[in-house]
Structure 1
Amino acid sequence: MNTKNLSKKLLKLIDRNIHKVCVPIQNGNSVRLKHLIIRENNYGHLVYDLRDNKQITTTFTKTAAVAIAKNLAEGQNHSIDRIIDLDREIQAKYNKCVQYKSTMINSDNPISIDNANIRYDITWEDVLTLRDSLDQYVFDK
C-alpha cells in the first residue's frame, strides 16, 4: 500500500468513529461535539442541536458554549442552568472591566484613575475565578 491509500483509510476510520467519543472538533468558525455545533456570531456563541435542528442557547463565552454542549452530549442536563448563570456573571463583570478601563484611559483625575484601577483588578480576578469554574464543567477534574 502506498502512503496516500493508507492515510485515506485512516482518515475514514477516524471520521467513522469520532462521533462515538465526546471530543470537540474545530472546523472553521464552528466547533462540533457529537450532534451539537457551536458557532460564533456578533452576539456571542450559539449552541445548536443538529438532531432537532434548533438553537439551544446563546452564550457570551466560548467556554460556556463548549461546557453546555459537552454536558448535553453526555446527557447531564442538570448543570446547564448553572453554566448559563456563570456565563452571565462573566459577561456582567467583563463589561464592568471595560468600563473601568475606559475610566482609566479617559479620566484626568488621578484619584478616579486609581479607584478605577483597583476596581478593575478586583473585577478581573473575579472574571478569572468564574472562568476557572466554567473550566471544571468542560474538563474532567
Structure 2
Amino acid sequence: MAVNDGLTIGALAKRTGLAVSAIRYYEAQGLIDPWRNSGGQRRFERADIRRLSFVMVAQQFGFTLPQIKAELDLLPGGRTPTKADWARISAGFRAALDQRIDTLTRLRDNLDGCIGCGCLSLENCALYNPADQAAKNGPGPRYLMGDRPRTSD
C-alpha cells in the first residue's frame, strides 16, 4: 500500500492497539475524520495514529473525550499537524498535568499525616488542624487540595 493510499481501519487498529469498534467510536465522536476511497472504504491518514495515541494517553491521565476533542479541534484540518501544532495543544494539557502532579505529590507525601479533612484522628492533626480550622476553607481534604495549614500568629 502506498503512503497516500491511506490506512485501512484494520491497519490503524493494528498500529494503535485499539479495537476496530473503538476507532469507529472515536470517529463518531469527531476525534478522527477518515476519508473514503473510490471503492467507498474508509481510509485514515498516518497522522491519525498520533491523534489516537494522544487520545489514549490523555484518557489515561483522566481527561474526558470532550476535553480531548476540544484540543484536537485546534489542529489544522486538511494537512498533517506539525510539531508546532502539537506543541500548541500540549500547552494546555501541560498546565493541567502539572497541577495533577502537584496534587499526587502532596497525596504521596502527606497521606499518612494530617490532610485537613476534619477527622482529627491523628496526633499531628492537633498541630496542623487545631479545632478543624481547615473547614473554614470549605469541605474535603483541604491540605491535599492545596490549602496550607495556618501557622500560629
Q: TM-score, normalised by structure 2?
A: 0.36
Greater relative CO, 1 or 2 (CA 8 Å, sep 6+): 1
* Larger of the two Rg values belongs to structure: 2
- Name the structure where helix makes up a greater proportion of residues: 1
Q: TM-score, normalised by structure 1?
A: 0.38
